[in-house]
Amino acid sequence: MIKKGTVIYPGTFDPITLGHIDIIKRGLKLFDSLIVAVAGSSTKETLFTLDERVEMIRDAVGEQEHMFIENFDGLLVDHVKKKNINAVLRGLRAVSDFEYEFQMALINRKVNEKVETIFMMTDERYSYISSRFIKEISKLGGNVDFFVPANVAQRLREKHIS
């Protein structure tokens, strides 16, 4: 398989799910290196702090050759330009994801014409998983072990007990 360059996989990862991990592992097979870029500033209200999200990703994925985890603030296109990278990886679960992601990819390209977005369908086993739903299930005392790595499930339980 021919690999080429570095790709950035951005997100809030609040929390990271098995679907996110699927995209990371498969992205590493396609690119020379992959940067998991955790958004610090976002319009989304996060349950976990930026440091907690980065730590959960490290614990869940472990040390992977050619994978780097970092955080960023501001516009993704500015971060991509700063890193001198032109490829962004986005995971898709359903048609509804595509509509949003397609619009975002076009906006990103308009702001920085060098930015290309690569869409990857998540494995069907994870196509219904959403961080938002996982947080809701956990908050209501439900079991999230099927949707997230063990370290994340534990952190969710701790957040919702206190």
User: Is 44 annotated as catalytic?
Assistant: yes
User: Is 20 annotated as catalytic?
Assistant: yes
Query: Is domain 6-127 given the CATH code 3.40.50.620 in the classification?
Result: yes
Catalytic entry in 93, 109, 159, 160: 93
pTM: predicted TM-score of the whole model, two decimal places: 0.92
pLDDT at position 162 over 60: no
User: Is 79 annotated as catalytic?
Assistant: no
pLDDT in tens, 53-102: 999 999 999 888 899 999 999 999 999 999 999 999 999 988 778 888 89
Looking at residue 43, its amino acid is T
User: Is 160 annotated as catalytic?
Assistant: no
Site of tokens 């809030």: 12
The pLDDT value recorded for residue 2 is 61
Where are the domains positioned within the chain?
Answer: 6-127
Provide the pLDDT confidence category of residue 149 given band limits of 50, 70 and 90: very high
CA distance 131 to 133: 6
Catalytic entry in 41, 42, 44, 125: 44
Buried b (16+ CB within 10 A) or exposed e, 25-37: ebbbebbebbbbb
Catalytic entry in 131, 135, 138, 155: 131
